[in-house]
Structure 1
């Protein structure tokens, strides 16, 4: 087993930074880039085609109905991790955000851009009092996580919710970009990302036939990740094959040890979700992979079992992580 990409993470971060700079230069007349976002997004008054002029109203259709917004919000609060990534990608630094699933309080790949941002609790339980205290002019959330507090949030500020959390992060980012009046920047970010995807895909050739298995270990359960997961969507966009057991339009399957063969493929990427200060999940991973049934798998026999970063492959779930994941896959297949 190997811990893939750990020694190359700084190269991936550098590549992502360059991509975001190119995106901002190509999609906006502003000098601000996602890597150098202002304290409040309103300092970048963008009037590109596709974004509303400052005094112009627009109606945003979202998961909870419609919201009418005018101009560019200056004090945005965001209540999902993938939403935070979307805002940063279009050059908007929120005044408040829920903390990252891993980190103190932000993921490593966004912490430099999140300096001074108010921590609003966890994605599953944001702090209403703190949100109100920030006096936001826009709140971005998600129906899956926040439906029960929508009415409270709407009393504080105009509120826009995405419908779901799924591997297809582009749907939510499109909504968020429109809500913060950065539609043009969002479209440019997508164009840059899709261009890089096509570059990698064109270089893969026969390597795309490599069946890629994706597995997560926790202390409580073990899962394979299918086509509707964050990594699954990326692999499908690249045209990379999946093992038959994972080549399904579903999210995950929880495994028993009898289902260990569902982990097999030509290569297996796995990540470990560990509680702070614990090693139970890592021990569980080692236990499962020492099982005779696992040792009989093709990936075990060929040594193609690689531990990867769960933040990039699963947790972050947004534009910035998608770029990092893309580069990690390109690195493994040697098609940078």
Structure 2
């Protein structure tokens, strides 16, 4: 009896010790998973401090749509990303996102799913850094700085990923295309007023100078209607009675939801008498364009330039 009890105590002790060791390993992994051996990583300063970024990251997770697209442009294919689109990915990214897993909302990504994916680098959301500590316990996490220009955003990301040469080439190629657009338009670019607007069921808005189309149109020296010459991303809450504020020689209307979204919007707009009175509509210079016009990543910006060639150079 005594021997049986002794054996039971010994077994219990061994099991308890094994459980403590296992828990210790899990806690240790949680606390140190963001650390890499110094010879396999380099220190990067970012908005939340410092991270040791792998020299050649293979399993990158992004928590911001523009960072996701810029990483692809730089030659890094993320394994997963958070995204806020009504469709899984916009048209300009299709064909570039095979196998990419969606991990939830931009402000509240699914941490359990990220942990299961075993990333070696997480690129966080500059506009929602509140989950930085949780993410950095999973893998090295970098939160880029916010309120930068698109060039600074791309340059910073290129430095984080060790892709400085690729970043510089992308920026140079963009400016070359802008010069080609300016030459193709000639002096017309000083005379045309280009309006860019979008709609929600409740209201109509326009894009200001700080938006993606605002930046590109300014780079190409194209003119904007007076109401859109504001240093803001949006000019909001334009009433239906004030539709003339979005008129121009050319009007681009930014639409979510691809072709289906365009069809629904067109049906709604054509029922409005004031829409039919717009000069751009009457002259057949009003165009419905995809939602890439909303994004400031380099792939979206190149897609906007494609549209400008299509509608301003090849159509007008």
Q: Same fold (TM over 0.5)?
A: yes
Instruction: Give the Å deviation of 1:256.
Output: 1.7
5+ residue gaps in structure 1?
1-53
Match of 1:323 among 280, 299, 302: 302
Maintained 8 Å contact 2:227/2:245: yes
Structure 2 counterpart SS, 1:112: coil
Q: What residue is the counterpart of 1:96 in the other structure?
A: 80
Maintained 8 Å contact 1:87/1:176: yes
* Distance (whole Å) between structure 1 residues aligned to residue 228 and residue 266 of structure 2: 19
* RMSD, aligned α-carbons: 2.8
Maintained 8 Å contact 1:97/1:118: yes
Structure 1 counterpart SS, 2:282: helix
Match of 1:193 among 155, 174, 181: 174
Higher relative contact order (CA 8 A, sep 6+): 1
Distance 1:77 1:283, change over 3 A: closer
Instruction: Give the Å deviation of 1:287.
Output: 4.5
Structure 1 residue 304 corresponds to structure 2 residue 285: yes
Maintained 8 Å contact 2:82/2:106: yes
Whichever of the two has the greater Rg, that structure is: 2
* Distance (whole Å) between structure 1 residues aligned to residue 264 and residue 310 of structure 2: 28
* Distance (whole Å) between structure 1 residues aligned to residue 145 and residue 203 of structure 2: 27
Q: What residue is the counterpart of 2:92 in the other structure?
A: 109
Structure 1 residue 313 corresponds to structure 2 residue 286: no
Instruction: Give the Å deviation of 1:57.
Output: 5.5
Instruction: Write out per-residue CA displacement over residues 111-144 of structure 1, whole angstroms, 9 at most, x where no aligned residue.
Output: 3232222221232331111111122121112221
5+ residue gaps in structure 2?
1-37
Instruction: Give the Å deviation of 1:56.
Output: 7.5
* Distance (whole Å) between structure 1 residues aligned to residue 187 and residue 173 of structure 2: 25
Q: What residue is the counterpart of 1:260 in the other structure?
A: 243
Q: What residue is the counterpart of 2:19 in the other structure?
A: none
Structure 2 counterpart SS, 1:121: coil
Count of residue pairs brought into register by the alignment: 276
Structure 2 counterpart SS, 1:313: helix
Q: What residue is the counterpart of 2:189 in the other structure?
A: 208
Q: What residue is the counterpart of 1:14 in the other structure?
A: none
Q: TM-score, normalised by structure 1?
A: 0.73
